[in-house]
Amino acid sequence: MSQRKGGSNSGNGNGAAPPDPAKASRARDKLLSAKPVTTIAERRNDNTARSGGDGSVGKDRTPLLNDETHPSVFGFEWHEDGLWRIPADANKTAFRVCSLFEVLALSRPETNDDWGILIRLRDRDKNEHEWIIPLRLLVAEAVEVRAKLAACGLRIGANEGAQRALREYLAAIDEGMPARVRTVPRTGWYRPTAGAPVFVLPGRTIGASAGEVVRLDLDQAPAIYRARGTLEEWKEELARRCIGNTRLVFAVSAAFAGPIIGLTQDQGGGFNFRGETSRGKTSCIDAAASVWGSPSETGPDSFTRNWRSTDNAMESTAMAHNDCILPLDELGQADPATLPETLYMLANGTGKARARASGGNRAGISWRTVVLSTSEDSAARMVEQVNRRMKGGQEVRLIDFGAEVPGRHGVFENLHDAANGGAFWHEVRNAVVSHYGTAGPAFAQWLVETIETSPDFVAQKVAPKVRDWLQSYVKAGSDGQVQRAARRFALMAVAGELATEANITGWPQGEAARAAATVFRTWTDERGGIGSRDDHHLFEAFRAFFVEHGQARFEKVLEAATPEAEAEGMDRERMMMRRVGWRWRQPLNEQEKQVLSEGAAEAAAIAKERGDTNGPKDIGPGLYRWAYALHPHAFQAEVAGPLGIDKRDALRRLGMAGLIEGRKESGEQRWEIKKRRIPGAGYPRVIVPTLQALNER
């Protein structure tokens, strides 16, 4: 039988003619409905099986297939057992090329420069596989294409003829193929030129765009977005157990925040659940992972990644988690030397134009994710150990907080009738390995539908909720860094609340907002308040300097009646290495007495609570303290310099915080002051710490 390309079957006389619109729309419906592949039995009813007519189809051949997903190509026939090669020369025998697959559409990215063929097939166990065969792989031997198809379960004839024929068929398909899909290189939101935004997941696009059918074209992603169990089961087994557990609620809220920051266009970033081992940190980020996929411990199919597996494939990992979360276990395995940059890249990245192994370029690779990591040390500490320092901005990129709830059960507060922390951990673990991958897509579906009816969703719904949360939980006058971090917390809170509103979590209203507030408070408490982080480093370093060197490197000045006696009294016998200033005993002033007696009272109260009768009582009258004068050179060389802070700026910040004494000199505020006469040194300008700086909070 000789059948012309695009012959009677295709209803499309020749390749140059415009595609049949009715057929294109049928094909499109088929793609959107995401209906499972029709079975052979079903198809038998659909198709009038034709006999070969000219006798080239033997009696042993199964009936002919004739539908849009099996485009006809000159020299080939689709039968129920697969694709057949029908040689033009009637004397040559026909042979089977491969088992069945469906051709759904031709695909191309927004740049239109990487066309492909979207196919779907069922393996021997009836698992469905979709793949976009890049046309660029068909120009040469196409070994890669056959290998991948075989790996997905396509049976391809072992002889060279069959293999060559498969490539010929694929290369010739396009002329009878009217259906089109748009490929995108990352998961998450895609805004088609017409219609509402859609949310793209592997093998599945949520929302029917008016204009085009959209498919993810990303090798890495498909396996990680898997589902098991129903949403109701996930709610009952996992989400319910989160209630009253701020860390779990916060992590799961964050899992819903991926699509939200994609809408608000906020920067990516993340949270590090820090704490000692075996406290349940990993279970928190696994709970978050279960919103989107399987949190199984290892392997390429796990939604929870670890740092090692991320190293090599950072870009494609990030693209597979775009507008979503990226749970990363064990930050400690990351290379601390490059950690700040890696974190920055992962959360909010733009890849370099990347050459594909098989040719072609992918420019404009970018992504945005919420990273959730776990570790025993903060990222900042890890980085310090290799003598680097996280900049304030980077620290806020990965917000680090103590995951453990003091006085409770590791990371858990509410055990929901479990006997102990370990038992509850097992319940959570069982929940996340048996029920996953349903809540995230359901939330995306809700978002897509909500935006379809109210396109101003972000302005009307998200923004006011973020504002409300910030007003409720963030103190006025917070440092800029704190405010940026607070917004991140607010987005997690709002995402969790929206998921509750969408009927996905089953949590009481306000649960997610309160959990985010608790974690936010943990974070601000740990960082030492809501002031600037750079200030915090400086203040710590300044305080630590006196703790460390107060005794050894400040020369003692002994008060005496005359200058000569005083000079005599200096601690000259003692060898002073690398002197940085002077110290002397100084009576406490009234304000200092007040400060100290408050501290003593507090300490006494704590001691009493403990039943410790030998504890501090009060400071007693007329006490002295050590006063210090630090030489400005030493301050520059050993405090400000190593922090990379300008000396004048550092002094101003210390002064404004009340940690050093200042004087007004001819209307100008000075922080290097002439405090006192130093025997043998005259009246040097020095830096004088206040009691507040010397007294640890």
Ligand X SMILES: Nc1ncnc2c1ncn2[C@@H]1O[C@H](COP(=O)(O)OP(=O)(O)O)[C@@H](O)[C@H]1O
Binders of ligand X among residues 165 to 184 (CB under 6 A) are none
Nearest CB to Mg ion, comparing residues 183 and 374: 374
Q: 173, 236, 619: which is closest to 439 by C-alpha?
A: 236
Residue 428 in tokens? 């959570």
Strands 204-206 and 213-216: unpaired
Among Mg ion, ligand X, none, partner that 278 touches (CB below 5 to 8 angstroms by kind): ligand X
CB-CB contact of 96 with 80 (8 Å): no
Nearest CB to ligand X, comparing residues 286 and 592: 286
Nearest CB to ligand X, comparing residues 181 and 254: 254
The window from 188-196, 418-426, 489-497, 526-534 that contacts ligand X (CB under 6 A) reads 418-426
Q: Is residue 282 near ligand X by the rule CB under 6 A?
A: yes
Q: How far is the CB of 404 from Mg ion (least distance, A)?
A: 12
Among ligand X, Mg ion, none, partner that 581 touches (CB below 5 to 8 angstroms by kind): none
Q: How far is the CB of 331 from Mg ion (least distance, A)?
A: 10
Q: How far is the CB of 519 from Mg ion (least distance, A)?
A: 18
Q: How far is the CB of 614 from Mg ion (least distance, A)?
A: 42
Nearest CB to ligand X, comparing residues 276 and 646: 276
Environment class of 573 (CB within 10 Å of its CB; exposed 0-12, middle 13-18, buried 19+): exposed
Nearest CB to ligand X, comparing residues 218 and 415: 415
Angle at 100 between CA 98 and CA 103, to 5 degrees: 110
Angle at 530 between CA 525 and CA 532, to 5 degrees: 120
Among Mg ion, ligand X, none, partner that 279 touches (CB below 5 to 8 angstroms by kind): ligand X
Residue 25: what are its φ and ψ, rounded to 5°?
-70, -35
* Residues with Cβ within 8 Å of residue 127, at least 6 apart in sequence: 153
Q: How far is the CB of 537 from ligand X (least distance, A)?
A: 27
Among Mg ion, ligand X, none, partner that 283 touches (CB below 5 to 8 angstroms by kind): ligand X
CB-CB contact of 270 with 349 (8 Å): no
Q: How far apart are CA 516 and CA 251, in angstroms?
A: 9
Among Mg ion, ligand X, none, partner that 631 touches (CB below 5 to 8 angstroms by kind): none
Nearest CB to ligand X, comparing residues 319 and 415: 415
CB-CB contact of 178 with 24 (8 Å): yes
Q: Which of 10, 99, 283, 304 binds ligand X (CB under 6 A)?
A: 283
Q: 552, 587, 582: which is closest to 678 by C-alpha?
A: 582
Q: 380, 423, 431, 432: which is closest to 401 by C-alpha?
A: 380
Nearest CB to Mg ion, comparing residues 311 and 330: 330
Q: How far is the CB of 421 from ligand X (least distance, A)?
A: 2
Q: Is residue 79 near ligand X by the rule CB under 6 A?
A: no
Q: How far apart are CA 278 and CA 280, in angstroms?
A: 6
How many residues touch ligand X under the rule CB under 6 A: the total is 16
Nearest CB to Mg ion, comparing residues 297 and 665: 297
Q: Is residue 30 near ligand X by the rule CB under 6 A?
A: no
Among ligand X, Mg ion, none, partner that 545 touches (CB below 5 to 8 angstroms by kind): none
Nearest CB to Mg ion, comparing residues 253 and 282: 282
Nearest CB to ligand X, comparing residues 424 and 507: 424
Q: 415, 27, 455: which is closest to 212 by C-alpha?
A: 27
Q: How far apart are CA 360 and CA 366, in angstroms?
A: 17
Q: Left, alpha or beta for 364 (phi > 0: left; psi -120 to 50: alpha)? A: left
Nearest CB to Mg ion, comparing residues 281 and 527: 281
Binders of ligand X among residues 388 to 417 (CB under 6 A) are 409-412
Among ligand X, Mg ion, none, partner that 43 touches (CB below 5 to 8 angstroms by kind): none
Q: How far is the CB of 423 from ligand X (least distance, A)?
A: 8
Binding to ligand X by CB under 6 A, coded x per residue (else -) over 372-391, reads --x-----------------
Q: How far is the CB of 303 from ligand X (least distance, A)?
A: 15
* Interface residues toward Mg ion, by CB under 5 A: 282
Nearest CB to ligand X, comparing residues 134 and 410: 410
The window from 279-287, 387-395, 464-472, 493-501 that contacts ligand X (CB under 6 A) reads 279-287
Q: How far is the CB of 428 from Mg ion (least distance, A)?
A: 13
The window from 6-14, 272-280, 354-362, 528-536 that contacts ligand X (CB under 6 A) reads 272-280
Task: Give percent helix, percent strand, percent coil of the chain, each to the nearest 5.
Answer: 40, 20, 40
CB-CB contact of 134 with 106 (8 Å): no
Q: Is residue 422 near ligand X by the rule CB under 6 A?
A: yes
Nearest CB to Mg ion, comparing residues 118 and 284: 284
Q: Is residue 297 near ligand X by the rule CB under 6 A?
A: no
Q: How far apart are CA 347 and CA 325, in angstroms?
A: 9
Q: How far is the CB of 426 from ligand X (least distance, A)?
A: 7
Q: How far apart are CA 261 and CA 242, in angstroms?
A: 23
Q: Is residue 364 near ligand X by the rule CB under 6 A?
A: no
How big is the chain, counted in residues? 697
Q: How far is the CB of 278 from Mg ion (least distance, A)?
A: 8
Write the DSSP assignment of 631-670 as a string of letters: -HHHHIIIIIHHHT--HHHHHHHHHHTTSB--EEETTEEE
Residue 140: what are its φ and ψ, rounded to 5°?
-100, -130
Q: Is residue 234 near ligand X by the rule CB under 6 A?
A: no
Q: Which of 281, 543, 631, 647 binds ligand X (CB under 6 A)?
A: 281
Q: Is residue 277 near ligand X by the rule CB under 6 A?
A: yes
Q: How far apart are CA 409 and CA 275, in angstroms?
A: 13
Environment class of 176 (CB within 10 Å of its CB; exposed 0-12, middle 13-18, buried 19+): buried
Q: Is residue 631 near ligand X by the rule CB under 6 A?
A: no
Query: CA torsion, points 456, 458, 463, 464, in degrees to nearest 10?
Result: 50
Residues at the contact surface with ligand X, assessed by CB under 6 A: 275, 277-283, 374, 409-412, 421-422, 425
